[in-house]
Amino acid sequence: MKLYTCVDHDGFYPVPTASIVIGNNKREGKKMLDLELIKAGLFPFKTKEYTLIEINPEKRQAIILSDGNY
Asked if residue 45 is part of any domain, the answer here is yes
Asked if residue 67 is part of any domain, the answer here is no
Report the number of distinct structural domains present in the chain: 1
Pick the closest to residue 3 from 16, 40, 19, 11 (CA basis): 19
Asked if residue 61 is part of any domain, the answer here is no
Asked if residue 43 is part of any domain, the answer here is yes
Q: Is the peptide bond before 16 cis (omega within 30 degrees of 0)?
A: no
41: left (phi over 0), alpha (psi -120 to 50) or beta: left
Each residue's pLDDT tens digit, 7-58? 998 888 778 889 999 999 999 999 999 999 999 988 766 667 899 999 999 9
pTM: 0.84
Report how far Cα 6 is from the mean position of its chain's Cα atoms.
3
Between residues 4 and 46, the one the model is more confident about: 4
Task: Print the domain residue range for 41.
Answer: 2-55
